[in-house]
Structure 1
């Protein structure tokens, strides 16, 4: 695959997230450009969210979404999104979205929208971590540690991605040291992403699926490329608290309070550089160790 510039990748993400109106309450999301294998869950969430947004009043930004993955998607095929307009109240609106591929549902998503209004406020403090300028990106780490990394992971790193990620600490397979189930990562789109706040929210929903599930296996030094492991997102929830831009650095602070029974539960908090908490996430996923399965 030809090398992609930041501008190329910004357009790539725009194209992936901008859904096409098929008819009233029906939208189509494109297949993953140059995609193969299983669809990235964040892409399906982002397209489903944009489909819901396209049916809501612009003065009511989305404040939460809850999604369940039912079947793996095919990255080489487009996805049809059917939106149910459940309620439009004075302050809140709710939508339900079914993502359909090859005639079968692959994801259900519920989204809630709320008019902007004043209210009491507080938030947790952002973790004290080094700024992104002092850290290496995943690609730079991969190049420096190439001789110690699995080929499957190197191939993943070599795939063009619209999101730049700079981890605060090393995670598997960059290291095989067992760690507490906590990780921090700086994230941003690789170029100017325009001024549509809905696209920025959809881009954050897309990005929020990166790395979150892996938090729960840090105590076991496992990685998604390990042949003895099976990983799959089961559900994904997100709450949008404040405005942000995806083309500016955001800190994704993740932790996992529990894992067991071949499942892991993970949480995330997303901060701007000046410390504002702008979104929160939660996800449970399959983390099956094949060696332990009967």
Structure 2
């Protein structure tokens, strides 16, 4: 994955092949055996955004991860114009590699307009300055893990707030799973609302599935679990600044059938609810 924010921006600058057809590049260096799902989602969103007028902004995107992407070759994004209305536009994007569809996304865009307004309150949490860097937590597991984290994920600053993992009291497993992070792009992004939306989509896939493992005392990187994103949905409520602190307030209502479901509210530092995210993923148990 990109080690710098500049490389993230480069990944989101797609090559236009023809109308509705784009090609996305891969990170120059990565140890990942599959393309990071957030990268595919972000590039697909950029492809769709490139086909709508400047006054239409994404308010929802729904994606399916069908096959693991090959990080050694580019990804081609084919944008289908489903509908153009006066207020809403709909696009469907197919991502292809090796002649196969690896990913589908449907996204809806709307002009900004006034209306009723309400939101949930942000929960009381420690500030980003009071929270520990996720990279520092990873470093506690060993030097190799720290180097890999720095190489793959240092384009975003991620701070761990905490969870309700049942470490000492098994009864805590009965409490709905909660996991919270602060995150922001590690640098300043260009002043482009579509780019900020795509950068947010990129990082939104990193930690969400891990919330579904909290009640079971397992972390997402454990050898005891084989994880993979299956689908991912984002509802964009209000403009997002992806280079400013965002609270990822994650919960998991259910896990069954080797799948975990996680949902999250996303708040800006001032308490504004900017997005809601949901994801179901594979959390296959590995015994032995």
Task: Tell me, yes or no, whether TM beats 0.5.
Answer: yes
Of 213, 217, 220 in structure 2, the residue corresponding to residue 221 of structure 1 is 217
Aligned to 1:129: 125
Matches within 5 A, 1:109-258: 109-143=105-139, 146=140, 149=141, 153-154=145-146, 156-161=148-153, 162-169=155-162, 180=175, 181-258=177-254
Aligned to 1:29: 24
Long gaps (5+) in structure 1: none
Q: Deviations over 1:151-208 (max 9, x none)?
A: 7744542324211100101698xx9667651111100000111101110000000011
Aligned-partner Cα distance in 2 for 1:86–1:262: 34
Q: Cα offset for 1:139?
A: 1.7
Aligned-partner Cα distance in 1 for 2:88–2:144: 45
Q: Secondary structure at the match of 2:211?
A: helix
- Judging changes above 3 Å, is the alpha-carbon distance between structure 1 residues 260 and 151 closer, same or farther for their aligned structure 2 residues? farther
> Bigger shift: 69-78 or 179-188?
179-188
Q: Secondary structure at the match of 1:281?
A: strand
Q: Deviations over 1:203-244 (max 9, x none)?
A: 000011011001001111212322221100000000111012
Q: Secondary structure at the match of 1:142?
A: helix
Long gaps (5+) in structure 2: none
Aligned to 1:49: 45
Structure 1 vs Structure 2 CA RMSD: 2.2
- Judging changes above 3 Å, is the alpha-carbon distance between structure 1 residues 153 and 223 closer, same or farther for their aligned structure 2 residues? farther
- Judging changes above 3 Å, is the alpha-carbon distance between structure 1 residues 152 and 213 closer, same or farther for their aligned structure 2 residues? farther
Runs (4+) off by over 3 Å: 150-156, 175-180
Aligned to 1:277: 273
Of 48, 63, 78 in structure 2, the residue corresponding to residue 67 of structure 1 is 63
- Judging changes above 3 Å, is the alpha-carbon distance between structure 1 residues 50 and 171 closer, same or farther for their aligned structure 2 residues? farther
Q: Deviations over 1:18-66 (max 9, x none)?
A: 1111111100110122024111000000000000000011111011000
Q: Secondary structure at the match of 2:231?
A: strand
Aligned-partner Cα distance in 2 for 1:158–1:95: 35
8 Å contact kept, 1:167–1:185: yes
